[in-house]
Structure 1
Amino acid sequence: DSCDIIFVLSRGGGFELNALEGLARGLVVITSDWGAIREYAEPYALIVKSTGKKVKPLTENPIHQGYGADPEQK
């Protein structure tokens, strides 16, 4: 084990298995409020709430197409 904290700031993933594995290992998990992770991470992870806006990320990238969450910035 080489870390104490895992950041899973996905903008459109499905299940986010790496976050679940981090929780199972007892790591502090910091994640975005997007996707299925909301179903299993609360109250065990720090969830960064989104602004509710959607952005079109990586418009020129043929691998990733779709919309993602726009995390709240303060």
Structure 2
Amino acid sequence: MLAAARSILELGTRLRKAAEPERRITDLETTAARRIEQLEDRLREGVEFGRREGREVGRHESGSWPRG
């Protein structure tokens, strides 16, 4: 009985270790998604600021930027 309990505890430890990389990946994905949202918000604010200031919004192959 004691051996079975020890085996279950060891299995739990192994499962936690195996799940750690997946948890890290999920954390990184969440952090990246938040950062992308922040950057998109800043881009929108910059475009709106440029329009209020009478600037055009230019385009190039990797995105857009306000022209001054």
TM-score, normalising length: structure 1: 0.24
Q: Would you tell me which structure has more helix in proportion to its own residues? A: 2
Q: Could you say which structure has the greater relative contact order, defined with CA pairs below 8 angstroms and 6 or more residues apart? A: 1
How high is the TM-score relative to the length of structure 2? 0.26
Structure with more strand by fraction = 1
